[in-house]
Structure 1
Amino acid sequence: MPTVHSVLPTLAPLIPEIILSVGVMVLILYGAFRGERSTEGVNVGALILLVLAFFVVIGQAPGTKVTTLSGAFIQDGFAKVMKALVLLGSAAAILLSRDYFQRARIDRFEYPILIVLCTIGMMVMVSANDLIALYLGLELQSLAAYVIASFHRDDLKSTEAGLKYFVLGALSSGMLLYGASLIYGFTGTVSFPGIVSVLNENAGFGIVLGIVFVAAAMAFKMSAVPFHMWTPDVYEGSPTPVTAFFASAPKMAAVAMTVRVFIGALPDVTAIWQQIIVFIAIASMALGSFAAIGQRNIKRLMAYSSIGNIGYALIGLAAGSEEGIRGVVIYMIIYLAMTLGAFAIILSMRRRDEMFESIEDLSGLSRTHPWMAFCLAMMMFSLAGIPPLAGFFAKFYVFAAAIKAGLVVLAVIGVVTSVVGAYYYLRVVRIMYFDEPKAPYEAMPAGSLIVLTLSSIVVILFWLLPSPLVGAAGAAAKSLF
């Protein structure tokens, strides 16, 4: 019989997940007994849990790599950084939601609980070291996300968004299971290290087919082309704080999961999956750049922007090198800051009880709300990759890794699509600074102001002190090789 002393080291890598799991069960009971009166307490409790888990994650000793649950779960430098990003995105989603949900009269205690459940699933995805753990984490995250998308039950668009997300998400889960079953069938193991040892000797047609199906499922979760079709509709239909959540934390987990699978389980067949990643990256960058040009809804524009940004991040993965993965991690850190900052302002586009989502509703914002206009302009310039803002360096690192790996054409295509994409980002700035102003919006809620301030610091001042984030990304990449 295992003793307490023998069990504790086994559970040590799982402490952040255990904190969230135990905490969310307490919050569920509290909410069930107190009903709607518990909403404020559950929100505060969920934030405390996420912050506590964040400090536990970043408190992990640097350079350590520990596995548990018979090797199914791994805690290393890469997991440490990506989990920290997931937790920050989830905490921001709760902060951004408070004022919006209260005004829309849909402020219920279930929302922060679903966010925490979703976060547990994402953290398992990041640390998954075999195909079964990967699928369990993915489904926990997905099931909670489907409910969150349709959280505004009385709104037709929100209900439709949840249904679309559920149907297409179920399809992608099936594709992942089929691909995983093929890989298991031809290797005889679900463990990533076990797959690596077998693929040293064998990479036949069955393995290739399995990789294709797994890559397709990964592309759906990242909202990469050609499995992006759900993204604009779900982003537009979901309540805006939910859209901000979908554009941030789940993106971190999906990219981390993809990197973990291809670098951790399939490093010796890079030539096979590299072609798939290159295609997905080019298609995502192209569609994200061209399809966003005609958008009039700011949330749909951000949806296509997220598709394009995933394409840029995948350039680093296509390189298949330590430098490339460092570029991916840096890109996702900066993307998280840019996206949350933009959505903090989008959530502040309110007059009385009416929310505005049209890009034209930003007309003359520089004269009615100079600070908001400046911050949103910085987010748009950064997303366009204009120096010296953080977005420029994000693209620089992935392009440099691609060129070093011999993928010069891919890097050139990335630069060209960046120029095309700059058009619709700069169009937002033009509308804010040169069009006639409309009636001013209400004061920015406290939660949005906190998120915007922190995001602006990262985006605007990254070039002054890049070493902490670049160093963390480098350590994360090194732990995978």
Structure 2
Amino acid sequence: MTAIQAVLPSLSPVMPELILAIGVLGLILYGAFRGERSVETVNVGALILLILAFFVVVSQSGAKVTTLNGSFIVDNFSKVMKALILLGSAATILLSRDYFQRERIDRFEFPILIVLCTIGMMVMASANDLIALYLGLELQSLAAYVIAAFHRDNLKSTEAGLKYFVLGALSSGMLLYGSSLVYGFTGTVSFPGIVSALNDNAGIGIVLGIVFVAAGVAFKMSAVPFHMWTPDVYEGSPTPVTAFFASAPKMAAVAMTVRVFIGAFPDVTSIWQQIIVFVAIASMTLGSFAAIGQRSIKRLMAYSSIGNIGYALIGLAAASEEGIRGVVIYMIIYLAMTLGAFAVLLSLRRGGQMYETVDDLSGLSRTHPVLAFCLAAMMFSLAGIPPLAGFFGKFYVFAAAIKADLVGLAVIGVVTSVVGAFYYLRLVKVMYFDEPQAPYETMAPGLRIVLGLSSAVVVLFFLVPSPLVSAAGAAAKSLF
């Protein structure tokens, strides 16, 4: 009994991950015994697990605690990012139900893979050494490769899974090589140990290690120049899977990136700041210009996600508490905008057939005025037009960059925002000024829930911003 009492305090910080891990094992056994008859139960079970883990995360104190021999850290930053990851994963299950039933690919493995992916993402957000980071990353990635190719009878879906796997393996190798260089020149994989070993003194080996680590994490964020997989994988994957890739894994990738650079390399900011500035500028530029010619909404959202990662990285480039606060606020708002946009996209079904091009939105305001209003709000917000939430997300990261004397970076961000506004507003123009087509089918209940909550965040953020801003401020403060 004494041994159990001694172990319990060390396990309490990892309780959300344990709940998901034990629960998913139960779901796997139930699904294996019941077969396809278990689909509905496993979906509900997975959703309950994610919601339960969310409440456990939210109820944690937020005080900085390390466990598992210092490799796992829980603080306000991990708390906020894990909450976002869990919300994104739960929303994916809600978004997927109607789609998978109609496409006749409704299998119990999908929610199980989402939960496994979520465990990996939560480990990434709390990793306090390079080994824990890599383990979390691979657990998330292996499940993601499978769900990209989940529609196995569809050639595009299979191709998406294969591309993601091959390029993902390459990026994992780069991250691992960079980690081994850092370990070789510091003698430790622990983030606090790396800080002590460097002590403002970084040789060429450490610089190379940081470059390779940056390349690995840039791939996971789909940041330029490691974005090449994103448009094809987004377009080929089943649409709920695309919504998932654009939401929860983005939260985890940004959390991992912030954790690595702020946690392990705070004393050599001048080295990695140049890399982050370049990646941010390249991502914003390509995301804004490449999306202009896209007719597929999924490919447009892929380039939009690349551009949005660039804006979030402006806050990281500032390397300050204000900058990280801006990153967290931006990711909260980005999650709401993305899930809302995909909820509308998944409702574009007519005669049992999905529609995914910009032209399919023609006259949506006259056939589905509420749907058109919600999507227009998402597009205006993504474009950064006040008083919607997207404007404030960009405002916080631009303000942090200016305060950190990165005025040029902020100016480039504003210019690319103006360019990006073109393709966001084009969707609004098509919905409100083009001739209407036949109306679409009624939205499924899961889509309504996700769209309603997302729209509330995007439209009403300016009225009550303090809860989210305070949470982001506490998250940033815990890293400094």
On whether the aligned pair clears a TM of 0.5, the verdict is: yes
- Consecutive unaligned residues of structure 2, counting only runs of 5 or more, are none
Aligned ranges 1:13-412 → 2 under 5 Å: 13-62=13-62, 64-412=63-411
What secondary structure, in the 3-state scheme, does the structure 2 residue paired with 1:67 have? strand
- Return the letter of the residue paired with 2:419: V
Q: If the length of structure 2 is used for normalisation, what is the TM-score?
A: 1.00
Deviations 1:254-281 (A, max 9, x none): 0000000000000000000000000000
Query: 1:5 deviation in Å?
Result: 1.1
Query: 1:44 deviation in Å?
Result: 0.1
Q: Please say if residues 200 and 268 of structure 2, whose CA atoms lie closer than 8 Å, have aligned partners that are also in contact.
A: no
Give the structure 2 partner of residue 444 of structure 1: 443
- Return the letter of the residue paired with 1:296: R
What secondary structure, in the 3-state scheme, does the structure 2 residue paired with 1:399 have? helix
CA distance in structure 1 between the aligned counterparts of 2:36 and 2:307, rounded to whole angstroms: 40
Query: 1:346 deviation in Å?
Result: 0.1
Give the structure 1 partner of residue 9 of structure 2: 9
Deviations 1:296-323 (A, max 9, x none): 0000000000000000000000000000
- Consecutive unaligned residues of structure 1, counting only runs of 5 or more, are none
CA distance in structure 2 between the aligned counterparts of 1:37 and 1:73, rounded to whole angstroms: 38
CA distance in structure 1 between the aligned counterparts of 2:248 and 2:326, rounded to whole angstroms: 18
Query: 1:2 deviation in Å?
Result: 7.2
CA distance in structure 2 between the aligned counterparts of 1:219 and 1:173, rounded to whole angstroms: 11
CA distance in structure 2 between the aligned counterparts of 1:237 and 1:22, rounded to whole angstroms: 32
What secondary structure, in the 3-state scheme, does the structure 1 residue paired with 2:66 have? strand
CA distance in structure 1 between the aligned counterparts of 2:160 and 2:415, rounded to whole angstroms: 32
What secondary structure, in the 3-state scheme, does the structure 2 residue paired with 1:275 have? helix
CA pair 134-365 structure 1, distance change in 2 beyond 3 A: same
Query: 1:201 deviation in Å?
Result: 4.9
The alignment-based identity, stated in percent, is 84
RMSD of aligned Cα (Å)? 0.7
- Return the letter of the residue paired with 2:471: A
What secondary structure, in the 3-state scheme, does the structure 2 residue paired with 1:74 have? strand
CA distance in structure 2 between the aligned counterparts of 1:145 and 1:359, rounded to whole angstroms: 27
Deviations 1:282-339 (A, max 9, x none): 0000000000000000000000000000000000000000000000000000000000
CA distance in structure 2 between the aligned counterparts of 1:351 and 1:53, rounded to whole angstroms: 37
CA distance in structure 1 between the aligned counterparts of 2:52 and 2:347, rounded to whole angstroms: 28
Query: 1:202 deviation in Å?
Result: 2.8
- Return the letter of the residue paired with 1:3: A
Deviations 1:422-476 (A, max 9, x none): 0000000000000000111000110000000000000000000000000000000
CA pair 192-2 structure 1, distance change in 2 beyond 3 A: farther
- Return the letter of the residue paired with 2:377: M
Deviations 1:92-144 (A, max 9, x none): 00000000000000000000000000000000000000000000000000000
- Return the letter of the residue paired with 2:32: A
What secondary structure, in the 3-state scheme, does the structure 1 residue paired with 2:207 have? helix
Q: Please say if residues 200 and 267 of structure 2, whose CA atoms lie closer than 8 Å, have aligned partners that are also in contact.
A: no
Q: Please say if residues 71 and 132 of structure 2, whose CA atoms lie closer than 8 Å, have aligned partners that are also in contact.
A: yes
- Return the letter of the residue paired with 1:129: N
Query: 1:352 deviation in Å?
Result: 2.1
- Return the letter of the residue paired with 2:100: F
The number of equivalent residue pairs is 480
CA distance in structure 2 between the aligned counterparts of 1:202 and 1:412, rounded to whole angstroms: 32
CA pair 314-352 structure 1, distance change in 2 beyond 3 A: same
